[in-house]
Amino acid sequence: MPDGYRPGFHKYVFVVGTVMSGLGKGIFASSLAKMLKDKGLTVAPIKMEGYLNLDSGTLNPYRHGEVFVLDDGTECDMDLGTYERMLDQNLTRRNFVTSGQIYHEILDRERQGVYLGRDVQMIPHVTGEVKRKLRELALRGDGTNPADVVFVEVGGTVGDYENGFYIEALRELAFEEGPESCCFVALTYVIEPQTLGEQKSKAAQLGIKRLMEAGVQPQVLACRAGRRVDSNVLEKIAMFSNVPMRRVFSMHDRESIYTIPDDMRQEGLDREIMSLIGLHDRVDAVHEDKARRTWGGFVDKLTGPREREITVGITGKYAELRDAYASIDKSLEHCGAHLNVKIQQRWIDTTDMTDANVADRLAGLDGVIVPGGFGSRGVEGKIACVKHCRENRVPYLGICLGFQVAVIEFARNVLGIADATSTEFDPESASAVISELPEQKEIEGLGGTMRLGAQDVKVTAGSLASFLHGGKTSIHERFRHRYEVEPAWIERLEAAGMIFSGRHPDVPIMQMLELPQVADSGPDGDRPEISHPYFVGAQFHPELTSRPLNPQPVFMGLVAASILEKYRADDDASAKISKDPAIKRWSRMQKSGQTV
């Protein structure tokens, strides 16, 4: 037991999966956690992964979706992004653990003689380490207050060899903490074979049986399916799982994951959880009413009719896997609700994109996002995409690598440096406008080549970047990259018209770029060559900090610019947009210096 820990005070909700992985345990767990946080409780989520990697930093997006980065630089599972967005709460490395971390800490202790000559075993040492981490998280809570409830999501499915010790540790913890301290939730899958045309529960029953064989009786069930699960199927699953029907929830596909908390409330799932872990006496009813009204207003905007529609292209090399860009997807969803516009997303692979076909590939887009990535595959296609957007005044947002290729394209086609590139793609190039700075390691003190986590960005007063952030001249954003704008080229790039509006506070590291905004043509009917309605690049990852109730400013700017550019030629539509409450409210907030 950690010093100061009070058994029975902190409560635990364990979420495990059956049948198959990828069903949405993180979505379900974060929705449960939000319901309890809305009641004024302090919640602390943790994701426990079975793989032996120390973190998610080296994982290919095809294997595990996007790598999510926390403020403290932890590279973790994309589910932590779901928790941060749903809870509007910054997480730390304490909210993420892998089997590799568990074994690494135990073996380090063994080498240091901590176990006093004992043979180190799965029980009690490995399971004990899991319990220690959970109890320490309960003590630290959200960083300000101890946790009333710790939400524990176990990756994979019950029966996997790699997470068996997690299940055993949770069983032990529930036994040690005593009655009304822990609640087990099982997420399962109801199949519906096309050839049969009806839902079948046998796979779900067998999956839950595996959990019961491990000594765990689930108290709440969530049944994933494409459509609402039939009541007779739910009854059958409930009967064979010993779970009352009032605690069996149909987690079928919905228009948005942000509607799930309200659906849970309507079915009384929050009351059931509160009763199971004995927390009714800690509810703040006033806080809950206010939180529900605020969230309900967002959901109403999210699911309500939209007066306008735009199409935004996301051009990257993992375009066929939307989970690779999950945070970008959610950032656009947040903006669409707040700016009253339906955003159609078009996912475009840049691997075979060229100057010859880029116009056809990007036809019909009102805005373009070039996301981050590593390696040379698809880079020339991204550069062609940037050129098309710059020359044809298509609103553009470049993120991380999208920032870097914007610099490369500008150097090639405005400065005339035909072989401009990055040392990531050509280490021997004499015209590398993007490079890995030798002094960066010393400057950032990372002990490695990657800049990770939240860093300060100094923003130029009066710039578009400053306007987007409510007039601020300093912002705090999350980074995950190792290449920078080569300082020797900065002066030439700026002289040609590129504006570096965001910089490192102390050293010559460029962190935001933009092109001058010229909305109207001059007296001769033309515009300066280097001008654009919205051309912004961010070396950081703005998608990581977008929240449903507080959309990320650079995404809001892209969406607003895309709306205005699409309807600029339509006088009636343009006049209507200028009077739209959502647009006016956002513009007013920016001018007054408020956050979005």
Catalytic annotation, residues: 400, 541, 543
Say how far apart CA 11 and CA 353 lie, in whole Å: 53
Say how far apart CA 27 and CA 77 lie, in whole Å: 13
Say how far apart CA 314 and CA 328 lie, in whole Å: 9
Say how far apart CA 590 and CA 166 lie, in whole Å: 47
Cβ–Cβ under 8 Å, residues 165 and 208: no
Say how far apart CA 555 and CA 542 lie, in whole Å: 8
Dihedral over alpha carbons 330, 334, 337, 341 (to 10 degrees): -70
- 3-state class (DSSP) for residue 180: coil
β-pair type (535-538, 182-189): unpaired
β-pair type (248-252, 341-349): unpaired
What amino acid occupies position 207? G
Cβ–Cβ under 8 Å, residues 409 and 575: no
Say how far apart CA 260 and CA 242 lie, in whole Å: 24
Cβ–Cβ under 8 Å, residues 94 and 46: yes
**Number of Cβ within a 10 Å radius of residue 199:** 21
> H/E/C letters for each residue in 224-238?
EECCCCCHHHHHHHH
Say how far apart CA 530 and CA 385 lie, in whole Å: 17
Q: What is the CA radius of gyration of the chain?
A: 26
Buried/exposed 206-233: b ≥16 CB within 10 Å, e otherwise: ebbebbeeeebebbbbbbbbeeebbeeb
Running DSSP on this structure, what letter comes out for residue 385?
Answer: H
Say how far apart CA 37 and CA 145 lie, in whole Å: 13
Residue 518 neighbours by CB under 8 Å, 6+ apart? 527, 528, 531, 532
Cβ–Cβ under 8 Å, residues 71 and 90: yes
- 3-state class (DSSP) for residue 40: coil
Cβ–Cβ under 8 Å, residues 87 and 37: yes
What amino acid occupies position 440? Q
- Which two tokens mark 158? 């019950």
- Which two tokens mark 568? 């600029």
Half-sphere exposure of 139 (CA within 13 A, CB side): 13
Cβ–Cβ under 8 Å, residues 370 and 318: no
Running DSSP on this structure, what letter comes out for residue 68?
Answer: E
Nearest by Cα to 540 from 501, 508, 512, 506: 512
Kindly give the interhelix angle for 127-140 and 164-177, rounded to the nearest 10 degrees. 60
